[in-house]
């Protein structure tokens, strides 16, 4: 504080140099007489010399660092210089004051009063320096007036003393204001420094959070990939087993094993849906379609789940036609209904649609546990679940609502909710109405319970995968379908095999050893054969970057775990030139799972 006061005081010194030169020279010219000319010249030289030295010394000091300890030494030094300057000005009362001339007396008193008043603005940051200047200057004037032994002049002397105390009081107020301003500046500097520290901490915390999120994504992608490999192979082995002779007890056990495998696959597909939204590889195909077939399909598939919990599932028939992506809209509503069934223990589920202006509002009502106001935004975060601290897998992964919101944003549809704890919830999705009624309903989906009749499959199939269990399961499954299947664990073995045995189809895992990809393997095999051999990519990756890379390859893509039905249909389509699942902007709910 003292150092800043001294810096402020020294910075003010230069502003008084020119006024001092002008006033001193003018007084010398005005007050000089033959009798007092030598004394006035000496006085003028002393005043100007004192001011010049003071300004030079102030600039010299300001060029250096004024630390706390130096500030106290500088204060003592300034007391000396200011006392000399004040005494030099006060000497005007002894050298230029003429009691016989009223004009002379008024001029000298006015100048000295003005000088000390002006000094308050320059010197008051350090009150003691201002006080010593006043004492030396006004003291000389008061002594001169008192020494004249005349009542008016002695009254002037007393008035000068009163003026001194008045100036001192004002100087104290000015010094306080200066200290307050300096303190405020220190506080601001401290706040800025604290803000910088907090900003750095926030930046570091944000960076750490981003790194943690990336690490989480990498971990989930790696874990998902590693889990998909054995589950994919398990599904294929179970299909091979189902085609072998089994007794009733064995078929019951097989059905349970298939159910467990499908449950695992559903969870992994949910993670895949979330990853595909993050990767931005879903391109909506907007069309006009009737809503009622979609509602009927969802009721036929999801009502049994509600009935199993003793819930009433109702759907209000609708004759509206919507303009959206049929498959993505189905996935949104499916997630909303599944979530309602999962968190409702009594009562029922209602799926309805009503017209509101140019939009239809799809509503999913439930009489479930409800959601507290502070949780109503949180439930849309990924992996966030209510009432599932034990992470019961039967309650899902906490991605359904996150996927629903992501797809709604992708389609430009507004998804909102209202809920009361203990009373239930309603989710509303606003979808544009179609300009014209849809002419056809959604195409019927093929049954997944059984494969279609065999035929039209390639005879020779080359499978490339670095996982031995996957190679074995694929070889057994394809052999059961009547294919001559050969396997390779990398690109070079596949190229060597294809030189003597030209495949009719290539099925390759996307991520191979040594940072190589299935897209690279297919391109090299096609170049070697000189023909565009039908091909499929199968991947267990869910990392957004990997999904974008695979999509850019232009080869139809399946995701592990792939069901035998999906594999069979993809092979048929690839052979007939219709297998463009990956690059044809597929957006249906099934396509999200199959690639």
Range of the domain at 297: 287-432
Q: DSSP letters of 251-289?
A: HHHHHHHHHHHHHHHHHHHHHHHHHHHHHT------EEE
Q: Are 588 and 477 in the same domain?
A: yes
Q: Are 412 and 489 in the same domain?
A: no
Helix count and strand count (H, E) for the chain: 18, 12
Provide the number of structural domains found in the chain.
Answer: 3
- Cα angle: 438, vertex 441, 445; to 5 degrees: 150
* Residue 575 burial (C-beta neighbours within 10 Å; 0-12, 13-18, 19+): middle
Count of alpha carbons within 13 angstroms of residue 590, beta-carbon side:
13
Distance spanning both ends of the chain, measured CA to CA? 70
Residue 157 lies in a domain: yes
Strands (E), 198-347: 287-290, 312-315, 321-324
Q: Can you give the pTM of this predicted structure?
A: 0.44
Instruction: Pick the last residue of a domain from 150, 167, 195.
Output: 195
Residue 248 lies in a domain: no
Q: Are 142 and 52 in the same domain?
A: yes
Q: Are 509 and 409 in the same domain?
A: no
Sign of CA dihedral 143, 149, 155, 158: positive
Residue 321 lies in a domain: yes
Instruction: Pick the last residue of a domain from 138, 167, 195.
Output: 195
Q: Are 145 and 18 in the same domain?
A: yes
* Residue 63 burial (C-beta neighbours within 10 Å; 0-12, 13-18, 19+): exposed
Q: Are 426 and 473 in the same domain?
A: no
Instruction: Pick the last residue of a domain from 415, 432, 449.
Output: 432
Q: Are 36 and 164 in the same domain?
A: yes
> pLDDT tens, position by position, for the chain (595 residues)?
888 888 888 888 888 888 889 998 998 888 888 888 899 999 999 999 999 998 898 888 888 888 777 888 888 898 999 999 999 999 988 988 888 888 888 898 899 888 888 888 888 888 888 899 999 999 999 998 898 888 888 898 999 999 889 988 888 888 888 888 888 888 888 889 998 998 889 888 888 888 877 776 666 566 656 666 777 777 778 878 887 888 888 888 777 777 766 656 655 555 555 555 555 556 777 888 888 888 888 888 888 888 888 999 999 988 888 988 887 888 888 888 988 888 888 899 999 999 988 899 999 999 988 877 776 676 766 554 554 444 444 444 456 787 788 888 888 889 888 888 888 889 999 999 986 554 444 443 333 334 444 456 788 999 999 888 888 888 888 888 889 999 999 999 999 999 989 999 999 988 888 888 888 999 999 999 888 889 998 887 766 666 677 777 788 888 877 888 888 888 888 887 644 333 333 334 444 444 4
Residue 282 lies in a domain: no
The closest alpha carbon to 474, from 222, 226, 234, belongs to: 234
Q: Are 483 and 419 in the same domain?
A: no
The closest alpha carbon to 132, from 168, 91, 95, belongs to: 168
SS3 call for 386: coil
Q: Which helix H or strand E contains 457, and what residues bound it?
A: none
Q: Are 537 and 406 in the same domain?
A: no
Q: What CATH number corresponds to the domain at position 490?
A: 3.40.50.2300
Strands (E), 478-587: 484-488, 505-509, 535-539, 557-559
The closest alpha carbon to 396, from 563, 512, 271, 496, belongs to: 271
Residue 263 lies in a domain: no
Q: Are 477 and 424 in the same domain?
A: no
Q: What CATH number corresponds to the domain at position 331?
A: 3.30.565.10
Residue 239 lies in a domain: no
Q: Are 315 and 408 in the same domain?
A: yes
Residue 161 lies in a domain: yes
Residue 520 lies in a domain: yes
Q: Are 415 and 307 in the same domain?
A: yes
């Amino acid at each position: 504080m003292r150092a800043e006061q001294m810096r402020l005081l020294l910075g003010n010194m230069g502003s008084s140099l020119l006024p001092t030169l002008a006033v001193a020279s003018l007084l010398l010219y005005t007050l000089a007489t033959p009798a007092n000319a030598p004394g006035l010249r000496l006085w003028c030289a002393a005043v100007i010399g004192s001011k010049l030295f003071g300004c030079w010394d102030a600039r010299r000091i300001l060029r250096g660092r004024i630390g706390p300890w130096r500030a106290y030494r500088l204060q003592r030094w300034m007391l000396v210089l200011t006392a000399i300057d004040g005494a030099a000005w006060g000497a005007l009362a002894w050298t230029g004051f003429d009691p016989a001339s009223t004009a002379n007396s008024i001029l000298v008193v006015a100048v000295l009063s003005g000088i000390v008043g002006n000094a308050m603005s320059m010197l008051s940051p350090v009150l003691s320096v201002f006080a010593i200047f006043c004492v030396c200057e006004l003291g000389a004037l008061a002594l001169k007036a008192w020494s004249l032994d005349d009542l008016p002049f002695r009254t002037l002397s007393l008035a000068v003393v009163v003026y001194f105390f008045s100036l001192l009081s004002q100087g104290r107020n000015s010094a306080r204001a200066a200290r307050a301003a300096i303190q405020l500046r220190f506080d601001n500097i401290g706040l800025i420094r604290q803000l910088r520290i907090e900003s750095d901490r926030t930046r570091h915390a944000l960076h750490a959070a981003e790194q943690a999120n990336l690490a989480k994504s990498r971990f989930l992608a790696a874990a998902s990939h590693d889990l998909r490999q054995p589950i994919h192979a398990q599904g294929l082995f179970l299909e091979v087993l189902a085609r072998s002779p089994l007794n009733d007890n064995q078929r019951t056990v097989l059905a349970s094993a298939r159910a467990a495998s499908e449950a695992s696959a559903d969870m992994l597909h949910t993670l895949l849906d979330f990853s595909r939204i993050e990767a931005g590889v879903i391109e909506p195909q907007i069309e006009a379609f009737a809503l009622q077939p979609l509602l009927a399909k969802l009721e036929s598939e999801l009502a049994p789940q509600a009935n199993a919990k003793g819930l009433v599932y109702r759907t209000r028939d609708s004759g509206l036609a919507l303009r959206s992506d049929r498959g993505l809209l189905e996935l949104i509503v499916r997630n909303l209904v599944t979530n309602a069934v999962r968190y409702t223990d009594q009562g029922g589920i209602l799926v309805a649609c009503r017209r509101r202006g140019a939009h239809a509002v799809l509503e999913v009502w439930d009489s479930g546990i409800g959601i507290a106001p502070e949780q109503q935004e949180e439930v849309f975060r990924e992996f966030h679940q209510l009432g599932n601290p034990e992470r019961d897998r039967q309650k899902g992964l906490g991605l359904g609502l996150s996927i629903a919101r992501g797809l709604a944003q992708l389609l430009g549809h507004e998804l909102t909710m209202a809920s009361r704890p203990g009373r239930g919830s309603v989710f509303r999705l606003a979808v544009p109405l179609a300009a014209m009624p849809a002419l056809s309903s959604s195409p019927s989906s093929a049954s997944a319970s059984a494969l279609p009749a065999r035929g039209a499959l390639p005879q020779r199939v080359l499978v490339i995968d670095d996982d031995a269990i996957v190679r074995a399961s694929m070889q057994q499954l394809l052999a059961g379908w009547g294919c001559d299947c050969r396997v390779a664990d990398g690109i070079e073995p596949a190229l060597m095999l294809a030189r003597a045995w030209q495949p009719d189809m290539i099925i390759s895992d996307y991520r191979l050893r040594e940072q190589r990809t299935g897209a690279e393997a297919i391109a090299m095999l096609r170049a070697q054969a000189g023909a565009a051999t039908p091909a499929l990519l199968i991947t267990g990756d869910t990392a957004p970057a990997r999904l974008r890379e695979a999509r850019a390859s232009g080869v139809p893509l399946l995701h592990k775990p792939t069901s035998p039905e999906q594999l069979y249909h993809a092979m048929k389509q690839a052979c007939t030139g219709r297998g463009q699942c990956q690059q044809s902007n597929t957006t249906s709910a099934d396509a999200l799972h199959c690639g």
